[in-house]
Each structure stands twice: as structure tokens, then as C-alpha cells.
Chains A and B, each alone.
Chain A
Amino acid sequence: MDKLRRPEIRQQTTQQMYGVPENILEIDVVNPQNHGLGRGMFTTYEIQCRTNMPYFRLRYSSVRRRYSEFEKFRDMLEHEIGRVSIPPLPGKVFTNRFREDVIEERRQGLETFLRAVAGHPLIQTHSRILSSFLQNQEFHPTI
């Protein structure tokens, strides 16, 4: 019967039991806004990030990025992390770029993309550009 006894269990501290888990990561892509005029017009999306994970510099951040910056970010990620397959971005749009439903579809696609990428443990620990893309006010792609 001794063999069936439950193995020794380490006591958990109160802090461990009731403390906030270290895996909070909330990413939202919201508030699309158009900038510029005429042919130079483009749309930016706000990336809001709420987290308590140690990889991210800030607990809360809010930055604006446009689609082309997402593309460059994705290319840099693919270069940086060989082993992981990076999910695709929502497709390129050629006509009606500024129509409401097109922008909304793109916003949702970008949100899904960012959540999958930022939540991936290997990308979190091996990427230097993830936290700068998500939290730095200015994004400086090196490609």
C-alpha cells in the first residue's frame, strides 16, 4: 500500500497560491484612422497591449502602425526565427482600400495575427523585434 501513497507535495506559499499569474497578455488592434490626402492617404491601426510578462518593457502601451509596417515586421520575424511558422497577414488590398468593411476585415486579421505571434512562447523568448514592434512609438525596420 505504501507504493500507492501520494508522493510528497511541496507546500505552496500564499503569494504563489493567490498571486497574479505571469501570463497576462492582452493585445487589441483598434481605432483605424486615415492620415494624409489623395494618393498619399494611408490607414493606421492602434495596437493596445496590456501585459505583465517580463519580455515586454511596458505594462501598458499604445502605438500606431500601418499595414506596410506589419509586412516588414513579419518579414523580419521570419528571418529571425527559423523554426516557427509565422501565421499569414490579412491579404493585400488594391481596390476600395478605405471602405469601412474592408478596413474592419483588415483590422480583425491584424488582431488575429498579432495575438498568435505575441502569444507564441518561442517568439516571445527569441525575438528582439517583437517587443519593439508592439511597444516602441516609432518602428524602425532594418530590412
Chain B
Amino acid sequence: MPASSPSSRRTRSEELIARLNSVQTPSEAKLKDLRDLKNQIIGNRTKKLDFLNLGAMPCIVSILAFVVSSMHSEGGAGQELNELIAIQAAAAIGSFACGLEFGVKAVLEVGAFAILMSLLSHPNEKVVDAGARTLKLIYQSKLAPKFEFVKEKNMGFLLSLLSSKNENVTGLGANIITHSCQTSMEQQALSDAGVITKLVSLLEGSLSQREASLESLSYVMKENPETVTKFVGPQNGRPVNVVTELIKDKYPRTRLLACTCLIIIRNTCTSYLQDAGIKTGLVLALLELLDDPGQVGDDAPFVLSSLIAEKEDLQMIAFDAKVVDKLCNHLETGPFQAKRLQGIFLALADMCSELECCRDRALSLEALSYIKDALEHDSADIRTAACIFLRNLSRSVKNLSAGHFTDATVTSPMVQLLCDSCTSVQIAALGAISNTVVNFTAHKSIFMQCGGLKQLVQLSKSMDSAIRVNAIWALRNLAFLVNNRCKEEILLELTTPTLTSLIYDPEASVQEQAFALVRNLIDVPQDSVKYVFAEDGLLLHAVGRQLHSTAKVEVLIQGMYILSNLASGNEIHKEAAMDQLFPQSTDSRLQIAAVWALVNLTFPNSPGACGRVIKLRNAGKVSQLKTMVNDPCLDVKLRARMAVAQSMMFIDA
């Protein structure tokens, strides 16, 4: 805190603070100085930081504390002046906290919070108002202390705030809920205490009350079917109608918050708000909000994502409303601040996750060029979002086949992103690469030349299981229908011991992808199967052992297909497949794989088939096949018939 400094020149700000600190300054002068200070800092971030560094916060708070205690002890004449000082002090504190995390921290460190709370119970409306406004601003920051709803006293306090006639006080109550309501227990506690009814009544209040209420209702209902039912239930769904009307309100932020609220209801309880009118209304409202230049426009794409994610019917409605066109248009008119760009990419990704028409449209609107630029953006969030968009775009088999995703201008930056410092970027890049390497050509030269294979193999040894599984997934897709030279390259880089350790990986999903990779590698048995026998059959042994020990059906299916593919080779291969374990199951997919293996083992025109059939019959497999001939699943039935027919040829002979 600056005392009178030895140097003669002091800034006006320092003088102001010094005057406020001094006990000799009369109260009227302090009031004037406070007002002056408040006016200087409003909207001026630099000044706020300057004053904070000069120790303005402790100074103001001590003045506030002083007048608060005088207000409690004295009566009479000094009261009015004290109240005015309190109001200005609270307003100044609020201004420091507004939109400035450093300011909020300063407020909390000095312990002003309790003092501000005490202002709320003051008889003078204006004082209460000032205190409420300031607290509202503090509660907009994440640094504000968490409000414990489960304590009864606190809940009572909150309810009194919500029942107040003062707009700022009710707004504060709602802001507290928005800030602190995080768990379903808290949501339930709020609902039980009747908070929802109070918030519903606020929906018909002033603009700020409406907005605060909408926001806090979203937090109370998020992923909690009981609270949603409580909100929708009584009064014949009137609250829902009120919110639905608010989608067409004239204020954009209200519209956005109303959309968010309805979307949360839809997503939490699938029995509400499913009619076509609501769906279209939400899509159109959000479409318009995307154009907003401010904060609302930044948030709108995220809200759109929450509406359409994993819901094909909504994606279709949005496509018909030309959402893809609008989003791509926005990409063109950029550059944007990071949040909006990220939102647009993620919304486009959600649009393209299932519908081919959306992907086609996006590609025709030059989506790939925007992605290419974004892959090298400074912000990790944008790089991740661009990769996610590319991943979903490349789910289009038509475009994969046409090779639209394999040119070096896309492949090279993607491979670079595999070494990104941020894990989420790496995982998103791996996801996109898993899809783009499926291009149905026998050679993946561009990808290999960019060093992609090396990177994938490196990442498959990662300690993070999410990276491991995605890397091996990409390798599996890479190995689909490639020629022998490519397969050799893959195995040379990956090495059999690494592949074996992936087969023994603790994560079942990694095991599944590793098996699928081996399945793809031995698809053309003539040459590539030699790897299965390399190093004393290390790989084959591992496959067999894992088939024995795993219980997860997906892993077993892939394992059976390995054996089945092996059994489609020459005699040595068939004999090797015979020695392995054949699990029994009621899962049709596994049964089909097992029957294919038997079909291959009993394939006519192979010399050892007769011997194998005898062995199979002795192991009871033939009679098992005969029961499968009547299986409800058509594919199992037909394959079993094929296998039985082949076996009977040898048994009868």
C-alpha cells in the first residue's frame, strides 16, 4: 500500500488511493473520491489493473467494512452518508470484478465476500441493490466460492433471494444456481426445496430475470430426468410453453438460452418435445442466431451441436434448412476468434456424422480447404475441431474411394499433428487418419512417404490407452486390402514382438483392433502368412493364447476370422489353424466366423481335407454344425449347410 512516497511526483491515481486510505480525509471527500474512482475504471481494463496494483481493493474494502460496522452501531445523521459510501464502494468493487478474473481474485482474497453478503439484508433498497449487483458479477466468474445448497440455512437464504422483489437480488439467486449447481444431488435438493417453481415465476419477469432464470433452469435440469419432469409436469406444461415462446423473443441472448433449455429437456427426457414443430423451430432459431456477431453467435454453434449430435432426424431437418451452407459460409467470411471457429467446425462435424448428403454438400463448398488451413492454427482446440470435422467428412466411402482425402496437402499436416504436444489433438488426428487411410488402393504411398507409418507405430506404444487404441485402429484400416509389399512394410516397422504385446494388451479394445490388424494382414495368405509363423510362430501362439483367455465377444470374433483367413491358405496354414481353440457361443457373429473357419478347413480339393474332417467329427464339430443348420440366423444356417455338405463328402466316401 503506498504511503507518502519519498519521490515528489505521484500519479493522480496514487494520490487518490492515498486520500482514501488516510483517516484524516473526511467522509464526504472519500465519497467523492470513490465515485471518481468508479467512474474512471468502468469499461477500462487498463485502469482497473493499474488501480488493483496500487492496492485499491484492500483500501475500498476496508472503507466498506468501516461504514458497514458504523451502520450497525450508529443511527441518525451519519447513516445517509454511510449508505452512499457503501453504495459507491460496492459499485467500485463490482466494476473491478466485472469480466476481470484478476479483479475477482482480489475481491475474494481481501475477504470482501462476507461483507457484500451482509449488504443484502440492509433496510435501504439501494444498498441491497448495489450489493446484489456486485455479487452477481462475482458469481459470473468461476473463482467465486461454491455455494453449498445442501445446507438448510443456505437453501433458505437462496429461496429468500429468489422471492425478493428486487430484480438484482433475484438475478443473484439465479446466478448462484448457475454457478454452483453441479451434481445431481444438488439438482434434486434445489428441486425439492421448490426452487424450480420460483424460477418459473421469474420467467415472466424482466429481461435480466428471464435470462438468469433460463440459464439456471438449464443447470438444474441437465441430465436429471426427475427435475425435468418436475419442471414440465405441473400446470399442464405451461412452463414449457413459456420457454417455447421465448425462442422467438426479440433479444438474441434470451432466444439462445431458451433454445438451450429446451434442448436439455429434449435430451434428458426423450418423451418430451419430440414433435416436428419444435424440432424445426429450434433449428431455425439457432440458424438465425449463428449470424449474431457477439458472444451469442460464438455460443450458438455449440448449442446447435448439442441439438443434433447423434440424432439423424434432426440432422436431416437441419440439412433441409441449409445449415451446412450457412456454416460453410461463415467459414468463408472469417477470420474469427477462436471460440466461434471451433464451434463451427464441431457443428459441421456433427452434421456430417451420419448423412451422406451433408458430407457431399460440405465438400462441394470447399470444406477441405478450410480444414487444411485450420490444421496449422495456433489454438489446440481449433486443430482438434478441424480433425474431428475431417474424421466425420471422411466417413463418406464414395469420396474415400475417389481419393479426395489422400493428397499430400492434407496428409502431410495430419501426420505432423500426430506429434502434436496436446493429447486431444493427437487423438483427433488419429481418428481422422483412421478414416482417410481407407482409400481402397493397394498402396498407400503418400501416407507412407509423409512418415505416417512410423508415427502410427510410435503412438501404438504409448502409455495412454486412448492413443494406443486409435493408433492401432488406424494401422488396421491402413492394412485393409493393401498389397504384400505394403503389408511387409507395416510389419517391418511394427515388428512382431510389438504386435504380440498389443495382442496381450490389458485393454480389450486394443486387443480387438490388434486382432483385426492381423486378420487384414493375412488376408492374402500366399505370402503374408509367413509372418504368422515367424519367430517360432510367436504371433500365432499369441493369437491362440488370447483366444483362450479373453471373454469379450468382439475380440473373439476378430480372432476367429484370423483363424478362418489362415485356414483359407495352403495345407500348412490349415493344419496350423486346426490346432487352435474354437470357442462356442450364442452370438451369431461369432458363430458365423467359426463356421467360416470350418468351411475353409473342409474345403474340397485340398489334400488334407479328409483327415481334418475326421478330426472334426471326432471332436463333435460336425454334429454341432448339423444343429446350426436350423439356426434362426440365416447366414449361420447357410454357412453351416455349406460346411456340412463339404464334410459329408468326405465322411460318406
- The answer to whether A and B interact is no
User: Which residues of B are in contact with A by a Cβ distance under 8 Å?
Assistant: none
Q: Measuring CB to CB, which residues of chain A are less than 8 angstroms from any residue of chain B?
A: none
